[in-house]
Amino acid sequence: MHTVVVGTSGVTASDVLAVARDGARIELSGEAVAALAAAREIVDALAAKPEPVYGVSTGFGALASRHISPELRAQLQRNIVRSHAAGMGPHVEREVVRALMFLRLKTVCSGHTGVRPEVAQTMADILNAGITPVVHEYGSLGCSGDLAPLSHCALTLMGEGDAEGPDGVVRPAGELLAAHGITPVELREKEGLALLNGTDGMLGMLVMALADLETLYKSADVTAALSLEALLGTDKVLAPELHAIRPHPGQGASAANMLAVLKGSELTGHHQDDAPRVQDAYSVRCAPQVAGAGRDTLAHARTVAERELASAVDNPVVLPDGRVESNGNFHGAPVAYVLDFLAIAAADLGSIAERRTDRLLDKNRSHGLPPFLADDAGVDSGLMIAQYTQAALVSEMKRLAVPASADSIPSSAMQEDHVSMGWSAARKLRTAVNNLARIVAIELYAATRAIELRAGLTPAPASQAVIAAVRAAGVQGPGPDRFLAPDLEAADAFVRAGGVVTAAEPVTGPLA
C-alpha cells in the first residue's frame, strides 16, 4: 500500500487524494517529530509562567480574558473539544473526513502548533486503522477554522463520541480505538485548540473537487465535440490561429481538445439540404470559450490550494524565535472565494452542455435528426425527459452558484464578527460537481445516439472509440423507448470513472 510521509513543509494534492480516497498509510518524518517536540518545549515553558498566554493559559474566543489556573488546563482542553463538537445533520462523507483529519495532521506536523508528538502519532494511527470520526453537515462558519467538524475528529482522539470502523459500522469511538490497540489521548495545554483551528475541511473538499473537475472538463470537451459532429457543425472555429489572438490558456486547450477529437470526421461541415450555415449556434461555436474560462478558473483555484497545502493554519502559532502569537490565518476567505468561483464555472459549463442537448433533440434545429432522437416519434418519446432531468440539474446548479462567501453571520459574542462560510461553499460545490457529471453524461448519451443516427457519414475515429466504450459500459444505442434511468445511470458512472477521456486518448493522444 502507498505510504504518505508527513513532514514540516506541508503536503501535496496527490497526498490528500491518496489518504482520503485510496486509504494510503501515513508516517511522520523524523523532521516532523523533532519539530513537534521543539515547539512543545516552548509551550510547556510558557505554561509554567504566571503571565497568561492565549490558548495556553486562557479561555477561548470571547472568553479569552480569563486566566486559567494550571490544575484546570487539562479540563479546559477537554471541554473545548466536547463543547465544540456540536454539529448536526447528515454524516459527512468518509473521504471528506479523512481529508479533514489528514490536513489537520499536516499543520500539526509543521511544528507551529505546540502539539506533542504522541498526539500527532495518534492521529496517524486512527487514519491508518481506517477509523473515521462521525462529522455532521452543519457546524462550521469557515472561520476560527472548521470548528465543529474538527472537534468531532478531536473527540475521537479522546476516545469519545462516535466513529465509523473500517467495516462501515458506526460504533462508540472508545470501542474502536481499543479494538485497534490505540490509546486515547489526554490533551494538555493548547492541544485541544490546536486540533480545532484550521481550514482543513474546506481545503480537503477543494482538493477533491479540483481532481474531479479536471476530469469533467476534459470529458466536457469531448462531449461538446461529439455534439458539434452530430449537429453537422463546422470545426473551423476550433483553428489554433483563432484562439491564438485571444490567448486565454484554457480556451486554447479546450479548442485543441475538441479539434483532436474531430480529426478525420466526415460529419463536420455537411449540412442538411446542401444549405450551409454561416455560423453554428453559440452553444456549439463558443464551447471552447466557456469551457476554457472554467479551466482558467481551475488553474487559479489550484494555485490557492497549493498555497494552503503549504500553510500552517492555527491560532496562536509557535514561531521559530520562540514567540507564541495570535493571528487571523484561520480565516477561510482565500479558500471560500475559489470554492464559490468553481461553482459558478461549473454551473455555466452545465448550462451550455444542456443547450447543446436541447438542440440535438429539436427537429427544427438539429439539421435532420428525428424529434427527440426517437425511433418512431409520437409512438416513442425518445430522450425528451432525459433533457428535462438535465434542465432540472442545470437549474439547481444555478442556485448552487450563489456565493456562500458573500455572507457572514457574527458569532462568539461578536468576537468572531466576520466569517467566511467556506465550509458551506465547499459543501455546495460537492453537489455541483456531482450534478455536472450527470449533465455531461446526458449530453454524452444524446450525442452518441445522434451520431449513430447519421447514417451514411463516418464519425471521427476518436468519436467511434468513445461510442464503442459507452456501449461496452452498458449504455444502449438508438431504438424504441425503454426504461431510461438505467442507461443514464450507466452513462453517469462512465463519465465519473473518466471513461470518456480514457476512450478518446488512445486516438487523440493526451488531452490537455
List residues with catalytic annotation: 54
* Closest of 179, 183, 164 to residue 121, by C-alpha: 183
Are 141 and 411 contacting, i.e. CB atoms less than 8 angstroms apart? yes
Task: Tell me the C-alpha distance between 181 and 215, whole Å.
Answer: 40
What is the CA 164 to chain-centroid distance, rounded? 22
Provide the 3-class DSSP secondary structure of residue 336. helix
Amino acid (one-letter) located at 266:
E
**Maximum CA pair distance of the chain?**
91
Q: How many CB atoms lie within 10 A of CB 483?
A: 6
* Torsion on CA atoms 404, 405, 406, 412, rounded to nearest 10: 100
Task: Tell me the C-alpha distance between 184 and 167, whole Å.
Answer: 21
- Where helices occur in 245-332 by DSSP H, the ranges are 249-262, 282-285, 287-309
Q: List the grid coordinates of 465.
A: 472509440
**Based on the number of CB atoms within 10 Å of its own CB, is 162 exposed (0-12), middle (13-18) or buried (19 or more)?**
middle
Q: List the grid coordinates of 211.
A: 481532481
* Torsion on CA atoms 39, 42, 43, 47, rounded to nearest 10: 170
What is the enclosing helix (H) or strand (E) of 118?
helix 117-128
